[in-house]
Amino acid sequence: MDDIVKQAMAKWPHVPDCYGWLGLDARGDWYMRDDRVQVLGGFSSGVAGAKGSRLLHDKLIAFIQRNYQADEQGRWFFQNGPQRVYVELEVAPWVWRVQADWSVQAHTGEPTTCTMALLDEHGWLFLETPLGVGLVHTQDVGLAAGALDAGVWPQQPVLRADLAERYGYVTSPAAQSKLLSKA
C-alpha cells in the first residue's frame, strides 16, 4: 500500500466505504461505475452499459493496482486514500497473464506460480496460486494449454458457481452490502 494512502487513513479514519463504483472485468480491465450506470444493473449482469467506463489512465490504473487487496470477508477493494472502494468482480479477483515460459503474472503485474489449473464447465481456465484464484486472460489461453499439455500444472475440473465459496471471495460487495443492510 502506498505511504500516502496510509497517511490519509491515519488522518481520516472514519471515511465511509464505497460500493458499486469500481469493477474488474474478466480481462483485467478496471471500470468506473457512476450512479447512472449502477441503476442499469450489476457489473456482471450483461446489461448494455452496466459495466461503466473502462479506465485508460495508466497512472490511475497503477495506483489502483498497488492498493488492491481483500478484507477478512473476501471482499476485494481499492484503498483510495482514507476510503475503501469495494470492487465488483465480473468473474474472479485475479486475471492471470501467462508468459512464454509458463510463468504467471497477475493483472496487477505481481508474479506468482500456478498450484492448480481449474477448468470449469464452460471451458474457462482458472488458476489457483498463492495469491488466490483467477481467470486466465483470453489472449493467454493458448500458452496455458501448452503448460497443461506438457503437464507443468496439475489440473482438475471445477464448477464456476463453486469458486467464490471455495476460494473465499465475494463477486459483488455492493449486492452483499444491500442484503446485509436489509437484515
Map out the domains of the chain with their CATH numbers: 3-91+169-182 (3.10.540.10), 94-164 (no CATH)
Condensed to tens digits (0 to 9), the pLDDT of residues 36-79 reads 999 999 999 999 999 999 999 999 999 999 999 999 999 999 99
Q: Supply the Cα-derived Rg of the chain in whole angstroms.
A: 17
Residue 116 and residue 108: Cα distance in Å, rounded?
20
For β-strands 94-98 and 132-136, DSSP reports them as parallel
Predicted TM-score of the model (pTM) = 0.90
- 48 burial level (CB within 10 Å; 0-12, 13-18, 19+): exposed
By percentage, how much of the chain surpasses pLDDT 70? 96
Residue 157 and residue 133: Cα distance in Å, rounded?
14
Give the pLDDT of residue 112. Answer: 98
Average pLDDT, the chain: 93
pLDDT at 122 over 80: yes
Residue 163 and residue 167: Cα distance in Å, rounded?
6
- Asked whether the beta carbons of 20 and 174 are under 8 A apart, the reply is yes
Give the pLDDT of residue 182. Answer: 61
Q: Mean pLDDT across the stretch 103-110? A: 98
